[in-house]
Amino acid sequence: MSFQDIKFSKEELARYDRHIIIPEFGIESQKKLKAAKVLVIGSGGLGSPVLLYLAAAGIGTIGIVDFDVVDGSNLQRQVLFGINEIGQPKVEAAKRRLESLNPHIKLNLYNVHLNSQNALDIVKDYDVIADGTDNFPTRYLVNDASVLLNKPNVYASIFQFEGQVSVFNYTNQKGETGPNYRDLYPVPPPPGLVPSCAEGGVLGVLPGIIGSLQALEVIKVITGVGETLSGRFFIFDALNFETRTFNIKRREDNPVNGKNPTITELIDYEQFCGMRAVEEKPLKEIDAKELYQWQVQGKKFELIDVREPHEYEIVNIGGELIPLATVLDNADRFDSNTDIVVYCKGGVRSAKAIRQLEEKFGYKNLYNLKGGIISYIDQVQPELTKY
Amino acid sequence: MATVIIPTPLRKFTKNTARLEVKAGNIGDTIQQLTANFPDLKKHLLDEKGQVRSFVNIFIGNDDIRDLQQEKTVVKDDTVISIIPAIAGGI
C-alpha cells in the first residue's frame, strides 16, 4: 500500500500529534512511518531503544529477530525487559512490552538464529533493516543480505565506551547507492583479537545512546526528512565525550556490489570470519553431567575456574580461581599428572586457557567444561545463582 | 606534532593514553613510531606483511587514508589521525 493511502484513527492522530505538528515532518512523514516495515535484528542493548522508539513513533510493521532468552545480566542495559521476563524468549517479552506501548502497530516475531539459509527469506519482506547484533559473522550476513536485496541497513555497533553508527546501502532520490559495511571493513578481525561485549563489557547507557541514534536514522531513511548518515561514519567516545563523523566511500573491489562482484548469494559467514578454523582444533571436553559423575564417584581430579574474582563471588562450584589473564603466569598451579577440568562462565575463556597452556607447556590432561558454570548450574545445581 | 586518537579497545596497549603526539612525515612513519613506542599495538594495527590490517581504518581529519595516498598520505603538524577498528557489539 502506498503511504498516501494510509489512514489514521482519532487515537492515532492524537498519539502522533507532536510529530505531525513539526512543519518539516507533518502528516505525510507520519503516513510513511505507518506504511513502513522495519526489521530489527537483535533485541538486546541496541535493539531495546531501537524497538521502543520505533514502536512509539508508529512504524506500521516491525519484525524482531532474536533467538535468545532474557537473562538477569541483560537488565543492566536492555531496557526493554524487566525481572518478570527473565527466562522468557526475548521476542515474546519484547512483543508484550511494545504492544502495551503502542497497540496500533503490527509485530512479526522471528525466534530464530539468523543464518545464510533463512536471512533472505526474512529480510525480503522489509523496507529497512536495523542491525544490532553482537558478532562479526552476523554483521557480514546482514550486510550481504541487505545489499543483495537492495535494502538500506541502518548500522550501529558498541564496545565498552565506544559506539559507531552509519547508514549502509542507502539509495538516495537521485538513484545513487551509498557504501556498505564491506566498503568500510572489507574483512573481519581474526577470532580472538577483538573481544565481544560478553567478554569485554559495555557501559549500559552506551547502547541507549547509540541505539537511539540508530532509531533516528531509521526514521530519516523512511521519511526522507533531513540527511541520513549514508556515506558518513559516526563515532562516539563516551569516555572523553568526543564525537567524530568520517566520510566513507564505495570501493570498486567490494565483493558484493563492486565492479566485479564475487558474492552473488549468501556464503558461510562463520567460515568467512575464521570461526571454523578455531573449532577444528580439538579440545578435550567434559559436560556438566559427566563432571558431576566424577564428583560423586570421588574421582581424583582438579577443578580450575578462569573467571574474574567478582564472578567467583556471584557463584562458584569450588574450583580454584585463576583468571584467564593470569593463567600462563600460574602454570605451576596446573598439575600435569592429574586430570584437570577448567571452566568459565560459558566455556569460551576456559577453552582459551587450555589452548594457551597446551601450546606453551604441552599439557595433555586439561578438560574444558562444556557450556561452563552456567551449564553446570542448569544441569546439576539449579539452586545456584545464574548471572 | 600531529595527534593520534587511540580508540578505547586499543588504549590498554598505550598505557591508557587516548591522544598521542607524533612527529612524522606520513601515515607510514606515524604507525612505525606508534608501534616502536608501544610494541603491543603492532599485532592490532599491522598484519604479518606489515600492512595496515583491513579491519582497522585510519582517518586523517574526516577522510579515510584509502581515499587519499594510503600510508604515504602526508601528515602535518595540525593533522588529527583517528584509528578506528571494527567492533561488533550490540547486545
- Domain of B34, CATH number, reads 3.10.20.30
Is the Cβ pair A136, B90 closer than 8 Å? no
Position A367, amino acid: Y
Name the grid cell of B36. 616502536
* Angle of the A372-379 helix axis to the A288-297 helix axis, nearest 10: 70
Q: Is residue B18 part of a domain?
A: yes
Q: Which residues contact A53 (CB under 8 A, 6 or more apart)?
A: A212, A215, A216
Q: Is residue B40 part of a domain?
A: yes
Q: Is the pLDDT of residue A37 over 60?
A: yes
SS3 A225: coil
Instruction: Give the C-alpha distances (Å, rounded to integers) separating A210 from A2, A213, A234, A243.
Output: 31, 5, 10, 12
**pLDDT category, A199, cuts 50, 70, 90?**
low
Q: Is residue B7 part of a domain?
A: yes
Residues B73-85 have a mean pLDDT of 95
Domain count, chain B: 1
**Residue B10, domain extent:** 2-85
- CB proximity under 8 Å: B 31-60 to A: 43-44, 53-55, 57, 59
Q: Which residues contact A200 (CB under 8 A, 6 or more apart)?
A: A159, A160, B9, B89
Q: CA A143 to CA A154: how far, in whole Å?
A: 10
Lowest mean pLDDT among A90-94, A233-237, A252-256, A271-275: A271-275
- Owner of C-alpha cell 599428572: A337
Adjacency order of strands within the sheet including A285-286? A285-286, A366-369, A339-343, A301-305, A320-321
If you ran DSSP here, which 8-state letter would residue A347 be given? S
Q: Which residue of B has its CA nearest to A132?
A: B90
Q: Which residues of A touch B66 (CB under 8 A)?
A: 251
Q: Tell me which residue in A42, A194, A239 faces B86 most closely, judged by beta carbons.
A: A194
Model pLDDT, residue A43: 96
pTM: 0.83
The answer to whether residue B16 neighbours chain A at the CB level (below 8 Å) is no
Model pLDDT, residue B91: 73
Name the grid cell of A180. 556498505
Task: Determine phi and psi for A286, rounding to 5 degrees.
Answer: -140, 140
Task: Determine phi and psi for A261, rounding to 5 degrees.
Answer: -60, 135
**pLDDT category, A278, cuts 50, 70, 90?**
very low
Model pLDDT, residue A198: 64
Q: Is the pLDDT of residue A329 over 60?
A: yes
Q: Is residue B90 part of a domain?
A: no
Q: Where are the alpha helices (DSSP H) in A124-248?
A: 136-148, 181-184, 197-200, 205-223
Residues in chain B: 91
A196 CA to chain B: closest CA distance, Å?
6
Q: Is residue B51 part of a domain?
A: yes
Q: Which residue of A has its CA nearest to B41?
A: A193
Q: Is residue B91 part of a domain?
A: no
**Pairing mode, strands A153-159 and A162-168:** antiparallel
Q: Is the pLDDT of residue A222 over 90?
A: yes
Q: Count contacts between A and B (CB, < 8 Å).
A: 115
Q: Tell me which residue in A74, A194, A233 faces B85 most closely, judged by beta carbons.
A: A194
Catalytic residues of A: 197, 344
Query: Which residues does residue A177 pair with via DSSP β-bridges, in sequence order?
Result: A171
Q: Where are the alpha helices (DSSP H) in B1-91?
A: 27-37, 42-45
Q: Tell me which residue in A68, A157, A240 faces B87 most closely, judged by beta carbons.
A: A157
